[in-house]
Amino acid sequence: MGITISNISKSYKKVKALQHISFDVKPGELFGLIGPDGAGKTTLFRILTTLLIANEGLATVAGFDVVADYKSIRKNVGYMPGKFSLYQDLTVKENLTFFATIFGTTIEENYDLIKEIYVQIEPFKNRRAGKLSGGMKQKLALCCALIHKPEVLFLDEPTTGVDPVSRKEFWEMLKRLQQKGITILVSTPYMDEAALCDRIALIQDGKILEIDTPQAIVKHYSKPIYNVRAHNMYQLINSLKEYQYNHSVYPFGEYVHYTDKRTSFNPEELKMYLESENLTNIEIKITVATIEDTFMELAKS
Ligand SMILES: Nc1ncnc2c1ncn2[C@@H]1O[C@H](COP(=O)(O)OP(=O)(O)OP(=O)(O)O)[C@@H](O)[C@H]1O
């Protein structure tokens, strides 16, 4: 049993945080909710974990209705909220013991599930949670969310503010948890992490833009996309934006991603234009679309 979401809407006074959201997460799936700040991700997590009631729509988690069966859901799910949720003044061990106790279990009973993660923070078990590094806090929060052996795990932006190495390790841990049969819904603003999910939903302004596998989503991008570089990136972006045939212009790492309005686009013509704008060391080469490109394109319309 995974998650079913049917026509869920939620407003905070005038702000429409979620508008008619529907999708399913299959049992055992690692599903990503991808969107910028304010997209509505936390609101959806809070509805699914029974902390907030939707204005309309139905949702079930592990077969339980989020309103009628809220007590069963609380017993059967793990939730790692976006903001650090642990008790800063309690030590690592005390935090874990606390979460185990409120769920009527012990660290020993479910140690197998958290072992791989816990051994990494065990050397610091007597340190107060508030004094841990970002990566270690995140591992402790994950252990606390797992200690009662949940069927479904909700992770709201678990890697925000965490260094790239810890982010990578964290995703490897999620894959291993998935192999143990846990259904995982994870949100992230990082598009590169989207590629690690089985399926993703792109969300913006409370609406789902697209749902599919990461591989299929990038294939939906219809225009040829070019990596463009020159000696002065700032000027390059401005010149590309002023180019009458530009369809989209986005900075992308050391390049600018450019698409052209025309079906027959000649990169040489663009190069000549950029030279006339006094740009030098110009490089234009075709590239493949990423999830970020797809998101930007969908967000435009
Ligand atoms: N308690 C609240 N009262 C009023 N507006 C709210 C409240 N909580 C969220 N919002 C608004 O609802 C929208 C969705 O917010 P939400 O926190 O769900 O987005 P998010 O995708 O999780 O982004 P973030 O990462 O910034 O939390 C935003 O416009 C936000 O300002």
So what's the ipTM on this one?
A: 0.93
Percent of the chain at pLDDT above 90?
68
Write down which residue in 194, 218, 242 finishes a domain. Answer: 218
**What span, in angstroms and rounded, lies between the C-alpha atoms of 289 and 219?**
8
pLDDT for res 287: 93
Residue with tokens 């600018």: 256
State whether the beta carbon of 14 lies less than 6 angstroms from ligand 1.
no
| Cα distance between residue 142 and residue 114, in whole Å | 8
pLDDT at position 299 is 83
Q: Is residue 185 within 8 Å of residue 2, measured between CB atoms? A: no
Burial of 14 per CB tally in 10 Å (0-12, 13-18, 19+):
exposed
Distance (angstroms) between ligand 1 centre and the Cα of 280 equals 44
* pLDDT, tens digit (0-9, with 9 covering 90-100), for 191-208: 889 999 999 999 999 999
pLDDT the model gives residue 231:
93
Helix or strand holding residue 173 (H, E): helix 164-179
Residues 167 and 65 in one domain: yes
What spacing in Å lies between the alpha carbon of 42 and ligand 1's midpoint?
Answer: 7
**For position 99, which CATH number holds?**
3.40.50.300
Task: Give the confidence band of 83 by pLDDT, cuts at 50, 70, 90.
Answer: confident
Query: What per-residue confidence (pLDDT) applies to 167?
Result: 85
Q: Is the pLDDT of residue 300 over 90?
A: no
| Res. 215 pLDDT band, cuts 50 70 90 | very high
Average pLDDT over residues 140-167: 89
- Is residue 59 located within the same domain as residue 146? yes
Q: What is the distance in A from the centroid of ligand 1 to the CA of 37? A: 8
Both 104 and 234 in one domain: the answer is no
- CA-CA-CA-CA torsion sign (230, 231, 236, 239): negative
180 and 132 in a common domain: yes
Cβ–ligand 1 contact at 12 (below 6 Å)? yes
The confidence score (pLDDT) of residue 301 equals 67
The whole-model pTM stands at 0.88
Taking residue 249's Cβ as centre, other Cβ atoms within 10 Å add up to 19
Does one domain contain both 143 and 22?
A: yes
Mutation test residue for ligand 1: of 43, 44, 47, 51, the one with most atoms within 8 Å of CB: 43
Nearest atom, ligand 1, residue 156 CA: 22
How many domains in the chain? Answer: 2
76: pLDDT strictly greater than 70: yes
Provide the residue range defining the domain that includes 46.
3-218
β-strands 207-212, 64-65 pairing: unpaired
* Cβ density class 31-57: b for 16+ within 10 Å, e for less: bbbbbeeebbbbbbbbbbbbebebeeb
Atom 7 (ligand 1): residue with closest C-alpha? 12
Per the prediction, the chain carries an average pLDDT of 92
Final residue in a domain of this structure, among 218, 242, 267: 218
Q: Are residues 82 and 173 in the same domain?
A: yes
Closest atom of ligand 1 relative to the 43 alpha carbon:
18
Atom of ligand 1 nearest to the CA of 18: 14
Shared domain for 47 and 113, answered yes or no, is yes
Distance 158 CA to ligand 1 centre (A): 17
Burial class of residue 98, CB neighbours in 10 A (0-12, 13-18, 19+): middle
Q: Which CATH number is 252's domain given?
A: 3.30.70.100
Residue % of the chain over a pLDDT of 70? 99
By the 10 Å C-beta count (0-12 exposed, 13-18 middle, 19+ buried), 263 is classed as exposed
Return the pLDDT at 216. Answer: 93
Which of the listed residues 182, 197, 218 is the one where a domain comes to its end? 218
Instruction: Verify that 66 and 117 share a domain, yes or no.
Output: yes
The answer on 170 and 39 residing in a single domain is: yes
Phi, psi dihedral angles at 85 (to 5 degrees): -105, 0
pLDDT recorded at residue 110: 87
pLDDT at 174 over 80: yes
181 C-alpha to ligand 1 centroid (Å): 31
Same domain flag for 71 and 154: yes
Interacting residues of 94 by C-beta distance below 8 A, sequence separation 6+: 87
Both 149 and 233 in one domain: the answer is no
Stronger pLDDT, 159 or 243, i.e. the higher one: 243
The helix or strand, by DSSP H or E, that contains position 51, with its residue range, turns out to be none
CA of 15 to the centre of ligand 1 (A): 9
Taking the C-alpha atoms of residue 209 and residue 217, their distance in angstroms, rounded to an integer, is 11
Residues 277 and 162 reside in one and the same domain: no
